[in-house]
A and B are shown apart, each in its own frame.
Chain A
Amino acid sequence: MYVAVKGGERAIDNAHRLLAEKRRGDPDVAEISAEQISQQLTLGVDRVMSEGSLYDRGLAALAIKQARGDMIEAVFLVRASRTTLARFGYSEPLDTGAMEITRRISATFKDLPGGQVLGPTFDYTHRLLDRALDTGAEVEPAATAPVSDDATPHVLGLLDKQGLIEPASCRPDEDQSEPGDMTRDPLTFPVDRDVRLQMLARGDEGFLLALGYSTQRGYARNHPFAGEIRVGMVEVSFVPEELGFAVCLGEIEITECEMVNQFTGSKSTPPQFTRGYGISFGHCERKAMSMAQVDRALRADELGEDRTAPAQDEEFVLSHCDNVQATGFVEHLKLPHYVDFQSELELVRRMRREQGADRQEAAE
C-alpha cells in the first residue's frame, strides 16, 4: 500500500527541470515542433489518438513531444487532457461504407467492386534501413493515375448477399437501443459487444497484438482471413439540440478491418462464416487487425464455443487491455512504500525468530 509522504519538493522541482533539459536534447540541434511530429511521425500520432481515445492530431503530437516519445505516457497525457473538456453529445454512427479510400485491400477476394488500392504501405518493402532518408534529399512526388468513380462497398457484403456469412446488420429494434458507454458507466461483467468494442478500440496495440497472435497459434480456434482492410476519411455528423438536424463536423481518418472467421452452424442455421471487427482512429492497421481477432475470440459464448484460451476470457482481456490503467498500477510501485515495506520487514523478522526458536526446540 502506498502511504502519502512529505518532503522532497526541491528535488522534485529540480528533477522536472532536468527532465525539461533532457527533453530538449542538445540545444545545437534544431528543436522539433508538434507540427513536425503531426506531419512526419503520423503513425505515432495515430496510435496516441487511438489509445488516448481522442481524435485531435495537434494534441496527440504535443503529447508525444512532451512525453519524449514515450507513447504510453503520451496516451496518458491525452486521456488527462480529455477530462478537461465538456462533452457536447454523441455523433451519428460513422458510415464507413462511404469512406474516401486511401487504402483498401482484401486477402479473400482479388477482384473487388471498386478495386484494391495499396495506398501508402510498408507492405512489400524490403525493411532495409534507408540511409538516404537522413540526407534531406527531395522526395519524388507520388504517381497519379486516372480515377474511377466506382463505389467501394464493404467486401464482406459479397458473402452476405449469398448468405455465406452471418449478417453484419442488426435488427431495427437493436439499432434503437443506446449503446453502452464505459466512460460514463462502471464496467460490470459480462458486457455486451458494444462495450467490448469500445474498450478494444482504446486498448493497447501491443496487448491486443499478442492476444490476436495467440488466437492464430491455436489458443482459441478461429482461423482468420483479412476480408477487408480499409483506411480513409469518413465524415462525422452530429445533431446539435438547437438545430435538430444533422450537421457535418468534418472528416476523420479511420482504419477498419473485417476478419472472416471459421464457420459455425447449428440445427437451425446452415454453416456460415463469422465476423470479427476492428476499427481505429488514424492509420493503425496492426491495431485494427488485432482488435478484429480479439473481438471474434470474445464472441465465444455468443457463438456457442468453449472458452479455453486467454483471448476468449472477456474479464481478463478487458481488464488488462487499457495501457493507462495498466501503467498506473504497475508504475505506482515506484512510489514510496516505506511504511508498508517496514511492516513486511517486521513480519519476516518475526517469522525467522519464531522459526529459529522452533529449530532450537527441535534440536534439543
Chain B
Amino acid sequence: MTQQFTTCDRQDWMAVLARAPADLLENLWSGFDGKPSFKPLREPETGLVMVRARAGGEGAQFNMGEATVTRCSVISSTGQTGHAYVLGRDVNHARAAAEIDAGLQDGKLFADLDRDIIQPLKNAHDKARQLHRGKVAATRVDFFTLVRGEDD
C-alpha cells in the first residue's frame, strides 16, 4: 500500500491534535464510530523537553527552561503506528492523540477522521484565536507625540 499522506500533512494534523483542548479532543474521539483497536507500543509517559530560544529572538540559540511533555505510541489493529508528543501531563490527551495519529494514516479512515475530528478541532482553535485577536485588537494604541519631540 502506498502512503497517501506527506510528512507535512502528518505534521499538520499532529499540531492540531497537540494544540487541542484535551476535553474536546477526548469527547470527539470517544464519540467516533469505527475505531480500530489499539495496542500500546509505549504507554503514556511524562517527561521534559528543554525549550530553546534565540538571543535577540533571531540570534544564537540558548536553553531557556524546560516544559513538561507527555508522549505515547500505539499500534492499530490495521497496522499503523501512531505517536504523540503533547505539552503538559495529560496522559489521556497523549493517548487519544497517538491513536488518532495512527487512524489518520489509514487511507480508509482518513476522510472520516478528518471530517469528524481534525476539522472540528481546527475550527474551535480558529474561533478561539479570532476571539482572542479581536480582544487584543481593541487595545491597539495610536500614540501621537505633541509638538515637543516632533521634527516639525
A residues with a Cβ closer than 8 A to B are 49-50, 53-56, 58-59, 82, 85-94, 96-97, 100-103, 105, 110, 115-119, 142-148, 154, 156-157, 167-170, 174-175, 179-183, 193-195, 197-198, 201-202, 235-236, 238, 240, 242-243, 245-252, 254, 256, 258, 275, 277, 279, 281
Please state if A100 and B85 are interface contacts (CB–CB under 8 Å). no
Give A173 Cβ to nearest chain B Cβ, in Å. 11
Contact with A along B74-110 (1 / 0, CB 8 A): 0000000001011111000000000000000000000
Q: Report how far A201 CA is from B62 CA in the complex, Å.
A: 10
Output the nearest chain A residue to B73 by Cβ-Cβ distance. Answer: A242
What residues of A have a CB within 8 angstroms of the CB of B145 in the complex? 110
Q: Which B residues between 41 and 99 are near A, CB-CB below 8 angstroms?
A: 45-69, 71, 73, 83, 85-89
A252 in contact with B60 given A96-B53, A117-B140, A144-B135 (CB within 8 Å): no
What residues of A have a CB within 8 angstroms of the CB of B50 in the complex? 87, 89-91, 181, 183
Output the nearest chain A residue to B87 by Cβ-Cβ distance. Answer: A250
Please state if A198 and B63 are interface contacts (CB–CB under 8 Å). yes
Please state if B52 and A90 are interface contacts (CB–CB under 8 Å). yes
Give B52 Cβ to nearest chain A Cβ, in Å. 5
Partner of A94, one of B14, B51, B69, B132: B51
Q: Report how far A246 CA is from B57 CA in the complex, Å.
A: 20
Chosen A-B contacts, 8 in total, with CB atoms closer than 8 Å, are A54-B67, A58-B89, A102-B136, A110-B142, A117-B139, A144-B135, A147-B133, A183-B50
Partner of B87, one of A115, A198, A249: A249
What residues of A have a CB within 8 angstroms of the CB of B89 in the complex? 56, 58-59
Please state if A194 and B57 are interface contacts (CB–CB under 8 Å). no
What residues of A have a CB within 8 angstroms of the CB of B65 in the complex? 49-50, 53-55, 198, 201-202, 281
Output the nearest chain B residue to A83 by Cβ-Cβ distance. Answer: B48
A147 in contact with B130 given A91-B51, A248-B19 (CB within 8 Å): yes
Output the nearest chain A residue to B136 by Cβ-Cβ distance. Answer: A117
Output the nearest chain A residue to B41 by Cβ-Cβ distance. Answer: A242
Please state if B63 and A59 are interface contacts (CB–CB under 8 Å). no
Please state if A175 and B139 are interface contacts (CB–CB under 8 Å). no
Q: Report how far A87 CA is from B47 CA in the complex, Å.
A: 6
Output the nearest chain A residue to B71 by Cβ-Cβ distance. Answer: A88
Please state if B55 and A249 are interface contacts (CB–CB under 8 Å). no
Give B152 Cβ to nearest chain A Cβ, in Å. 15
Q: Which B residues between 10 and 59 are near A, CB-CB below 8 angstroms?
A: 10-11, 14-15, 18-19, 45-59
What residues of A have a CB within 8 angstroms of the CB of B55 in the complex? 168, 170, 193-194, 197, 277
Partner of B61, one of A147, A179, A238, A245: A179
**In the complex, given contacts A91-B67, A142-B135, A235-B15, what are 4 additional A-B residue pairs having Cβ atoms less than 8 angstroms apart?**
A87-B50, A91-B52, A93-B52, A240-B85
Please state if B48 and A86 are interface contacts (CB–CB under 8 Å). yes
Q: Report how far A345 CA is from B76 CA in the complex, Å.
A: 73
Give A278 Cβ to nearest chain B Cβ, in Å. 10
Contact with A along B119-152 (1 / 0, CB 8 A): 0000000000111111111111111110000000
Give B119 Cβ to nearest chain A Cβ, in Å. 17
Please state if A277 and B57 are interface contacts (CB–CB under 8 Å). yes
B7 at the interface (CB under 8 A from A): yes
A88 in contact with B19 given A154-B58, A197-B55 (CB within 8 Å): no
What residues of A have a CB within 8 angstroms of the CB of B14 in the complex? 247-248
Please state if B141 and A169 are interface contacts (CB–CB under 8 Å). no
Q: Report how far A254 CA is from B65 CA in the complex, Å.
A: 11
Q: Report how far A359 CA is from B53 CA in the complex, Å.
A: 67
Q: Report how far A241 CA is from B139 CA in the complex, Å.
A: 43
Please state if B48 and A88 are interface contacts (CB–CB under 8 Å). yes
Q: Report how far A105 CA is from B36 CA in the complex, Å.
A: 50
Please state if B134 and A252 are interface contacts (CB–CB under 8 Å). no
What residues of A have a CB within 8 angstroms of the CB of B85 in the complex? 88, 238, 240, 247, 249
